[in-house]
Amino acid sequence: MNNHQHIHRLFEKYLNNSCTPEEAEELIRLLQSGEERAYVEQLIDKQLQNKGEIPVDDEVLAHVFARLNLDQNSGKNWVKISSFYKKIAAVALIFIAIAVGTYYYRHQGLSKDTAAITHDVAPGGNRATLKLGDGHTINLSAEQSGIIVGNEITYADGSKIIENGALKTTFNSISTPKGGHYQITLPDGTNVWLNAASTLTYPVQFDGDKRMVELEGEAYFEVSHQQSTCSKQPNRDENKRKADSRKLTVNVPFIVKTKNQEVEVLGTQFNINAYPDENTTNTTLLEGSVKVVTRGESMLLTPGQQSKADGAGITIANIDVETAVDWKNGDFVFDGEDLKSIMRKVARWYDVEVVYKDDLPNDTYNAQISRNKNLSEVLQVLELSGGLITNIENNTLFISSPR
């Protein structure tokens, strides 16, 4: 059988929804690579003539290409798209659903209803625990998205959690489990969004010449600008001191302490990723300026920069900040990211254990998908773009390679 006959057979089986998982993956690779482009275009033309032209606008087309990893050299700005790729996308719009269905329901040997119930995991949500300094813990409401803390603690809607005057300890903490996130407004008005599996320790009130909190995990900060006043005393002579004494307004720095670094800011927006299972502590600046300090070394960041701190010091690079704050915006954004890095994020958000059954290639992935989707839908995108084989059993995600 020559190559054209083989491609034609695959295409016909795809249209009839009778591809095996291996055949579906092969057809995906043909679409991705552009092999036998002229012949594939003929098959698509014939199909579109039979069914009529399928309208595809550039926004939908870009989304389809991102999911199938087509035309990787086109970049992010879709200025002009050839008619060939529009034809591929018209078929690809249908192909995504058929290929995924074929793979899951045939490869797993399950009916659609059984697969949906047994082999899927719902996304995370509003889950957190508040721990007071005296050891008392409160499971925060999943119906609420955040809390406001200070002399009393309330939910964002104003309903009270702890009455005024009940707080007698110096430091409290808020923790999210795997599969949880939550937002907290600190006593100075600073807003903090906690990602999954993270803990923020904070004082009941900020006093003195600095505001310090401690973080393990990941959080996005919108720091409130705060000033304090103190007496300026330029002369030690008592009489002159009394005559010269006057108030001086000073800015109060906000400091985030993690295991490997401290970040000092005044009023700004930034993200810190300080998970214990990551090799570096990453600080990404969106607005304002921050100073990152680790092991006696300090560096200033400007908006659009990210620092990476490890045992060897600090490095800084310009990045697309959307990839660092994707979780806060409700998305997964993978931009040339390796599989194990992606799976650490997946494991935290869906509260699953990841098991690698094979030594997988060092491929990188480019995709964007909502964190509100079930786990199976995230895996579909990764499978289509990278040819993975996945299986979910009892909150364990098994990953293997088709090669």
**Per residue in 7-24, pLDDT tens?**
777 777 766 656 676 676
CA nearest to 184, candidates 196, 194, 176: 194
Rounded Cα–Cα distance for residues 358 and 356 (Å): 6
| Range 347-366 average pLDDT | 88
- What is the distance between the alpha carbons of residues 191 and 200, in angstroms, rounded to a whole number? 12
The predicted model gives 316-335 an average pLDDT of 94
Fold type of domain 338-400: Phage tail protein beta-alpha-beta fold (3.55.50)
pTM over 0.75: no
Q: How far, in Å, CA of 106 to CA of 382, rounded?
A: 18
CA dist 222 → 137, 181, 259, 298 (Å)? 26, 16, 21, 22
Determine contact, residues 222/269, Cβ cutoff 8 Å. Answer: yes
Q: What angle do CA 196, 201, 203 make, to 5 degrees?
A: 145
Would you state the pLDDT for residue 209?
Answer: 85
Secondary structure percentages of the chain, helix, strand, coil, to 5? 30, 35, 35
Say yes or no to pLDDT of 284 above 90.
yes
Pick one of 3.10.310.10, 2.60.120.10, 2.60.120.1440, 2.40.40.20 as the CATH number of 125-323: 2.60.120.1440
Q: Are 70 and 62 in contact (CB under 8 A)?
A: no
Comparing 292 with 61, the larger pLDDT belongs to 292
Helix (H, G, I), strand (E, B) or coil at 168: coil
Average pLDDT of span 101-121:
44
Residue 19: per-residue pLDDT: 63
Confidence band of 330 (pLDDT split at 50, 70, 90)? very high
Which pLDDT band, with edges at 50, 70 and 90, does 361 fall under? confident
Per-residue pLDDT, averaged over 285-294, amounts to: 94
Structure tokens at 50: 């039979």
Given a cut of 50, whether residue 321 has pLDDT beyond it is yes
| pLDDT band, very low/low/confident/very high, at 63 (cuts 50, 70, 90) | very low
Residues of the chain with CATH 3.55.50.30: 338-400
pLDDT of the residue at 40 = 65
Q: What is the location of CATH 2.60.120.1440 in the chain?
A: 125-323
Residue position matching structure tokens 């009529």: 52
- Burial of 134 from C-beta contacts in 10 A (0-12 / 13-18 / 19+): exposed
107 closest CA partner among 374, 359, 367, 402? 402
Mean pLDDT value across the chain: 77
C-alpha 14/C-alpha 97 separation (Å) is 11
Beta bridge partners of 49: none
Tell me the C-alpha distance between 66 and 381, whole Å.
9
